[in-house]
């Protein structure tokens, strides 16, 4: 029983700060780079989006 509580205590310490630089921490740098790439890709295609929106607003006669 004591071993279980000690294990929980160490587990809590280990996952207390998931934004550090340990091996089991979240890869925030890679996540941010991925989001930035996707946003830049969307920004480059914004003229296509404007064209699609303007064509969808036209009504067929």
pLDDT for 6 equals: 93
pLDDT for 7 equals: 92
pLDDT for 46 equals: 59
Q: What is the mean pLDDT of each run of 10 residues along the chain (61 residues)?
A: 89 82 84 86 68 58 48
Q: Transcribe the chain into DSSP letters.
A: -HHHHHHHHHHHHHTS-TTSSSTTS--HHHHHHHHHHHHHHHHHTHHHHHHHHHHHHSPP-
């Amino acid at each position: 029983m004591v071993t279980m509580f000690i294990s929980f205590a160490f587990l809590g310490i280990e996952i207390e700060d998931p934004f550090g630089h340990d091996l089991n921490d979240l890869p925030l740098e890679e996540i941010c780079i991925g989001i930035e790439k996707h946003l830049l890709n969307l920004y480059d295609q914004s003229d296509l989006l404007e064209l699609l929106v303007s064509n969808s607003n036209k009504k067929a006669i």
